[in-house]
Amino acid sequence: MNKMRLFRLKNQMLIGNALANIIGVNVAEMISYRSISPPPPEAVALFERVDAVFLPLSFGLIFIITVFYELPIRRFLNRCHRSGGGYPGVDPSARQRLLNEPFFLIAVDFLTWIIAAVVYTSAVYRTPFGPLLAGRVFFQTIFVGIITTTIAFFVIEWRLQKSLVPVLFPEGGLYATRGTLRIRIGTRLAALIAAANLIPFLAFLMIVQKTLRFDYPPDQMLVQLRTTINTNSVLFIAVGVFLTILVSSNLTRPFGDIIKVLQNVRNGRLDRRVAVRSNDEIGYVGDVINEMTAGLREREKMHQSLELAREVQQNLLPRCAPQQMGLDIAGRSIYCDQTGGDYFDFLEVGPPGDNTVGLVVGDVSGHGVPSALLMATARALMRQRSFLPGGPAQVVSDVNSHLSRDVEDSGQFMTLFYLVIDPVQRELKWVRAGHEPAVLYDPHRDVFEELRGFGMALGVDEAWKYQEENKRGLTDGQVILIGTDGIWESRNREGRMFGKEALLDLIRKNAACSAEEILQAIIDSIKHFQQDIEPEDDVTLVVAKIKTG
């Protein structure tokens, strides 16, 4: 901010107000000298003597009062100049005074015009011209004062919005400033109507009333009346046009900015802000739109982050099932949010060349990013621990010990089913940590068996020791299914759950198919059951089928 701009900013209100009052003084003289009964030369000479004293005093007093009122604003502008163009923290009193300044200045202006009416009326009253001219001077001065203060208000507000508000309110928020007066749109329009219609109407009524007080010849009366009407008509038309332009500019400019921002939002562009310049309804709408676009930007960033997290989490899940002799395996997770807490994995256990494989299915409490983080932690712990010596019970116990320290006092936990299949020895070993039992189906006998066991969810008790269960004598064609409760607890539009019976029936009907085909049949049935209802829980399913090596 250079010195010239600093000077202009500091004196915007002062110059605008002075110009409005100078115009008012000249309008008063024009109306007086071109009225239906101009003042006599002696009165004109008296007015000139009073002008020589009163005008400098009144303008000087307005100058001093304005500068004193603007001290906080001027101090802030000086700090902006010293900072080299930056905008230091604004004093709340500077903002408050800036928004109240149009009201303050028109109050000072109107009070000055009232004093002027009293001064000029008193000067005329003591002259031989009598009380008739004194009364005319008083009401004429008050009348011009109303016009002048109306024009001054709109001029000051226009300069304020154009020059000073962008400096003191670079981020908007005018409506939230406490202790300020507001001129609403309806009040602006009412003032415009009064200035362009009501005041001229009253002026012409006064002209008509004056014609009744003077005993002029008809031809002279018509000449004087025409001169007075022409003068007042030009004046009020000019005032009406000028105020209409100012009010229109104060309304159309922010509305145009709002429309452009909303068009950008509709087209997916959220980088533009509404330039808020007033503390009325339009300014409030601008602030709300800016908050909305900022929220949309944050949501867009969050959405992108969640999409990235979903991609990362999906990459943590196995991309393909292991090709093991004597086994056909398939697995899949479907999240109800971008990220989820369900987890499955295929682990290599045993020495190299051994066909033993570990199947893990886990379900973290809750949904979203916190559950996804805990799922990633559990996956890393399971993978790291599975390469070390020890059976399934020891693996899960060690993972629980580490996980409990991570989730301590968070209230989170994770259920898990860890199944080790040895297709050569035809043996199953498993640990159930608070998870739903796995299902073993023998199609030859058409018998379902639950792989049960006792164990607490991971993350609840650091010292918990898990027990290993086992089963021998697997036969070809047997199907093993490990899933999360999002399968059988899926609901349709009527609120009815999918249920375990439907799941078991699907396994029975598709037992002759491959593991991938069984898995796909179950997922398709769930989607058909839900129809267009958004799922409420993650769905994770691992299917293993015993086959001839």
Per residue in 101-122, pLDDT (tens digit) is 888 998 998 999 899 889 888 8
Count Cβ atoms within 10 A of the Cβ of residue 72 and give its class: 0-12 exposed, 13-18 middle, 19 or more buried. middle
Average pLDDT over residues 23-27: 72
Domain limits of the chain? 3-283, 322-546
What is the pLDDT confidence band of residue 286, given thresholds at 50, 70 and 90?
confident
Distance set, CA 160 to CA 177, 237, 281, 377 (Å): 16, 25, 17, 58
What is the pLDDT confidence band of residue 446, given thresholds at 50, 70 and 90?
very high
User: Which stretch of 251-260, 427-436, 490-499 has the lowest confidence by average pLDDT?
Assistant: 251-260
Q: Look at the domain 322-546 and name its fold.
A: Phosphatase 2c; domain 1 (3.60.40)
Residue 470's pLDDT is 93
Residue 180's pLDDT is 84
Per-residue pLDDT tens over the stretch 248-276: 777 788 888 888 888 888 888 888 888 88
Residue 122's pLDDT is 87
Residue 401's pLDDT is 93
Residue 521's pLDDT is 95
- Check whether 295 has a pLDDT greater than 70: yes
Mean pLDDT of the chain: 83
- Check whether 415 has a pLDDT greater than 90: yes
**What's the token pair of residue 109?**
């202006």
Per-residue pLDDT tens over the stretch 150-183: 878 888 888 888 888 888 888 888 888 888 887 7
Please, which residues bridge with residue 414 across strands?
364, 458
User: Which stretch of 112-121, 131-140, 436-445, 471-480 has the lowest confidence by average pLDDT?
Assistant: 131-140
Residue 157's pLDDT is 82
Alpha-carbon torsion angle 209, 214, 218, 223, nearest 10: -70
Residue 88's pLDDT is 60
Residue 17's pLDDT is 83
Kindly give, in sequence order, each residue whose CB lies less than 8 Å from that of residue 18, ignoring residues fewer than 6 positions away. Answer: 59, 62, 63
Put the strands of the sheet holding 539-546 in their side by side order: 327-334, 539-546, 479-483, 438-442, 447-451
Average pLDDT over residues 225-231: 72
Residue with token string 């009416």: 117
**Do 386 and 372 touch, CB atoms closer than 8 A?**
no
pLDDT > 70 fraction of the chain, expressed in percent and rounded: 88
